Structure 1
Amino acid sequence: MSLGHALRRIVEEYPLARTDPPAGHPLAHVIRKGAPDELRRALAPLDGPFLVKGSPGRGSHWAAVPWLAVFDPAVATSATRGYYLVYLFPAHREAVHLSLAQGTVAAIREHGPRSGEYLRASGARLRERLSDFSDVLPVSAITLGSAGELPEGYEAAHILGLTYDLADLGDERRLRADLATGIAAYRALKARGGLDGNVSAQCRADQ
């Protein structure tokens, strides 16, 4: 299995998989284990450290939007806060988004009903700071086709990235090159001060 094959399986099989319980489901195993393993292999030439996680949901419930994420442990170890690189699988189309994203749950807890407004404003500022990536990661807004606090939060938390249709997932070389670009943007954001723009504060947090 390659990274592209793993992504394609999730895109194609998730809608039907959600009609069955997730416990013991083969696709849940792919999202938690198989796809993260392929992503780790693709990341190997990029000199981590990286923490890779995949989530099909929690407990007995499938997620409205499954995800496969890469974390710099010095910045974040979960999708709750900080910022990270993530593949998001929309519910309304056969596609996958590669997104440099802000942590969603912490923003929802802190800002409540205004979290979407806060995240979009923050994302706009971060895109300006990463303007040198605008040509190679040109997608500045994503849609996930699912109502709810988390899917809408993921949409608002997006900074920049790419969108792949099914046909694009057969090009493993492109997927790996784009992943390297996404990691470069992730590292650039860290070097430029993270979410608050304060380089010295970010450096202290990394120590």
Structure 2
Amino acid sequence: MSLGHALRRIVEEYPEAHLDPPAGHPLAAVIRRSAPDEMRRALEPIGGGYCVKGSPGRGTHWAAVPWLAVFDPAITTSATRGYYLVYLFPAHRQQVYFCLVQGTVAAIREHGPDAEGFLRRSGDALRARMSDFADRLPLSAIDLGREGPLPEGYAAAHILGLAYDLDALGDERRLRRDLAVGIEAYRALKARGGLVFD
């Protein structure tokens, strides 16, 4: 399996898979184990000691938006806080987003009903800080096709990124090149103060 193949499986199989319970489902195993293993292999030439996790959901419920994330342990090891790189799988189209995002759950807890607005304002400021990556990670907004605090929060928390359709997932070299650019942006944001604003 390659990174592109793992991502494609999630995109293609999730719409039907989420009709069954996730416990013991083969796609849940791809998201939790196989896809993170492929991501770790893709990260080996880049280095950096990153933590990679995938989530199809929790317990007996599939996630509204499954994800595969790369965390710098010095920043966070959780999708709830800090900032990190992530592949997000929208519910309404055969596509995957590769994004640098802010942690959503911590913002919801801290800002309550204004969390989405806070994340959008913060994302705008962070995009301005990262403007030198705008040509390589040009996507400034995402649509995950689901309502609810987490999908809407993930969309609001987006900083910059890319979208891939199914055909693009067959280009493993491009995926690895884009992953390297994402890591470069992640490191640059860390060097530029992360989520701290003066």
> Which TM-score tier does this pair reach, normalised by the shorter chain?
over 0.9
> Are residue 188 (structure 1) and residue 151 (structure 2) matched?
no
The aligned amino acid for 2:122 is S
- For residues 94-143 of structure 1, give each alpha carbon's deviation from its aligned partner in whole angstroms, at most 9, with x where no partner exists: 00000100000000001011100000000000001100000000000000
* C-alpha distance in 1 between matches for 2:189 and 2:113: 27
Alignment of 1:110-149 (within 5 A): 110-149=110-149
* C-alpha distance in 2 between matches for 1:195 and 1:151: 21
The aligned amino acid for 1:28 is A
The aligned amino acid for 1:176 is R
Structure 1 moving runs of 4+ over 3 Å: none
* C-alpha distance in 2 between matches for 1:49 and 1:76: 13
User: Is the partner of 1:45 in helix, strand or coil?
Assistant: coil
* C-alpha distance in 2 between matches for 1:47 and 1:179: 12
- For residues 42-98 of structure 1, give each alpha carbon's deviation from its aligned partner in whole angstroms, at most 9, with x where no partner exists: 000111110000000000000010000000000001001100000000000000000
Alignment of 1:45-84 (within 5 A): 45-84=45-84
* C-alpha distance in 2 between matches for 1:47 and 1:91: 32
Q: Where does residue 202 of structure 1 map in the other structure?
A: none
Structure 1 gap ranges (5+): 199-207
* C-alpha distance in 1 between matches for 2:38 and 2:197: 33
User: Is the partner of 1:85 in helix, strand or coil?
Assistant: strand
Aligned-residue sequence identity (percent) comes to 75
CA RMSD of aligned residues (A): 0.6
Alpha-carbon distance, 1:197 to partner: 3.9
User: Is the partner of 1:117 in helix, strand or coil?
Assistant: helix
Alpha-carbon distance, 1:12 to partner: 0.1
The aligned amino acid for 2:133 is F
Structure 2 gap ranges (5+): none
User: Is the partner of 1:110 in helix, strand or coil?
Assistant: helix
User: Is the partner of 1:173 in helix, strand or coil?
Assistant: helix
Alpha-carbon distance, 1:153 to partner: 0.3
The aligned amino acid for 2:72 is D
- For residues 139-159 of structure 1, give each alpha carbon's deviation from its aligned partner in whole angstroms, at most 9, with x where no partner exists: 000000001110000000000
* C-alpha distance in 2 between matches for 1:106 and 1:172: 34
